[in-house]
């Protein structure tokens, strides 16, 4: 049996919280992960910069992997050597900002046009 580290959540707790709080995220290989599909390299870089800003402001840094039309965000508390509440807090903020669709809010902002020349994030329906 392994020693329980302070503040580290066990896999069952992580899975339950992901299902309830961050359903598009998954637990894999000791990280919580989310892949954002984008429309182009330009959009991929915009997601990376957004995640970078949020991570630096939070002083909690994810690992990122990117390709032409996707970005994978991986969170695990390096100091604690496991997933903690900090990972969930940052994942929620990333999800809120990157997945924001202002056109659905009816608050005057139209959101990204449907014209493929202006495509950005491939939002999940």
What secondary structure does DSSP assign to 23-63, as a single string?
TT-EEETTEEEEEEEBSSHHHHHHHHHHHHHHHHHHT---E
**Can you tell me the distance from the alpha carbon of 41 to that of 119, in angstroms, rounded to the nearest whole number?**
11
pLDDT digits (tens, 9 = 90+) for 2-52: 445 669 999 999 999 999 999 999 999 999 999 999 999 999 999 999 999
Residue 102 has pLDDT above 90, yes or no: no
77 contacts: CB under 8 Å, gap ≥ 6: 7, 8, 60, 83, 84, 86, 87
114 contacts: CB under 8 Å, gap ≥ 6: none
Please state the pTM of the whole predicted model.
0.89
- Give pLDDT, residue 73: 98
Crossing angle (nearest 10°) for helices 85-98 and 41-58: 140
- Give pLDDT, residue 125: 65
- Give pLDDT, residue 114: 80
**Can you tell me the distance from the alpha carbon of 73 to that of 87, in angstroms, rounded to the nearest whole number?**
11
- Give pLDDT, residue 107: 81
């Amino acid at each position: 049996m392994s020693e329980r580290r302070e503040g580290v959540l066990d896999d069952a707790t992580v899975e339950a919280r992901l299902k309830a709080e961050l359903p598009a995220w998954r637990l894999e290989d000791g990280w919580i992960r989310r892949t954002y599909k984008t429309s182009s390299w330009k959009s991929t870089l915009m997601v990376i910069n957004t995640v970078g800003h949020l991570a630096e402001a939070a002083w909690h840094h994810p690992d990122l992997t990117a390709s032409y039309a996707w970005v994978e965000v991986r969170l695990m508390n390096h100091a604690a050597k496991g997933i903690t509440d900090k990972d969930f807090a940052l994942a929620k903020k990333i999800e809120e900002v990157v997945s924001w669709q202002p056109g659905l809010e009816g608050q005057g902002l139209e959101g990204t046009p449907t014209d493929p020349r202006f495509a950005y994030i491939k939002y999940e329906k």
